Amino acid sequence: MLPSTSVNASVQGNGVLNSRDAARHTAGAKRYKYLRRLFRFRQMDFEFAAWQMLYLFTSPQRVYRNFHYRKQTKDQWARDDPAFLVLLSIWLCVSTIGFGFVLDMGFFETIKLLLWVVFIDCVGVGLLIATLMWFISNKYLVKRQSRDYDVEWGYAFDVHLNAFYPLLVILHFIQLFFINHVILTDTFIGYLVGNTLWLVAVGYYIYVTFLGYSALPFLKNTVILLYPFAPLILLYGLSLALGWNFTHTLCSFYKYRVK
């Protein structure tokens, strides 16, 4: 059955959705359904979420093609399955504990760091970025002939999570193997390796974010989301010239947080 068939079947004679179907399509109903499934692990598709995490590194376009399919079948762009968020939270916890171990933090310091990273770095910053991008995209990027469409806030948050995952793996996992013996050695090789990892991680974030919004057919000029690459590369070159080690700054900030 085509997606349009199921929608049309629920339309009354005057062309308006009946009350039950209208409620089903409201943002509040979608949010309630998502949060309800957050505590029902048996209903989550962890295998599919793991597939998405793999392809966010190798072929992120394929991940967003699945978002298109969801729009056609379930009439929403945002995820309706919280499995990706659960796996991301596990990754976040494990990698942050590893960070605490590498930085020789105590048990309670590691717990403080974990709470900060989860609720401030991931959730807090994520809510801020998602809200900002949701506002900007709906205000300035929607095509004039597509004013009846809008970017779902949940989709904006999903785009952030998609972009955050590669950044997390690079900076909170891969980087751990180089911190003590390479990156924090106060040498040119140290901050070259560390800052290059930052360049790749933030570059991934920018690119995956761009793909997320360019996948929406009713948006225009999404190429401007790639413009941050210019100051990023400039900052990278400047950091190498000045000997500024991004990872050393991050580690110092982490230790300051947990005091």
**Domains of the chain by residue range:** 21-258
Is 198 in contact with 157 (CB distance < 8 Å)?
A: no
The 10s digit of each residue's pLDDT in 75-84 is 888 888 889 9
Check residues 27 and 55 and name the one with the higher pLDDT: 55
What's the pLDDT band for 13 if we cut at 50, 70, 90? very low
Instruction: For residue 26, give the DSSP letter.
Output: S
Instruction: For residue 121, give the DSSP letter.
Output: I
Chain centroid to Cα 249, Å, comes to 23
The 10s digit of each residue's pLDDT in 101-121 is 999 999 999 999 999 998 898
Q: Say what the pLDDT of residue 11 is.
A: 40
Q: Say what the pLDDT of residue 36 is.
A: 62
Determine how many CB atoms are found less than 10 A away from the CB of residue 45.
12
Check residues 171 and 71 and name the one with the higher pLDDT: 171
The 10s digit of each residue's pLDDT in 200-257 is 999 999 999 999 999 999 999 999 999 999 999 999 999 999 999 999 999 999 888 8
Buried-state track 185-202, b at ≥16 Cβ within 10 A, e below 16: beeeebbebbbebbbebb
Is 239 in contact with 195 (CB distance < 8 Å)?
A: yes
Q: Check pLDDT > 80 for residue 145.
A: no
Distances (CA, A) of 75 to 27, 69, 71, 162: 11, 9, 4, 20
Q: Say what the pLDDT of residue 95 is.
A: 93
CA proximity to 126, closest of 169, 166, 82, 160: 160
Q: What is the pTM of this model?
A: 0.85
Is 88 in contact with 161 (CB distance < 8 Å)?
A: yes
Is 157 in contact with 126 (CB distance < 8 Å)?
A: yes
Q: Say what the pLDDT of residue 138 is.
A: 94
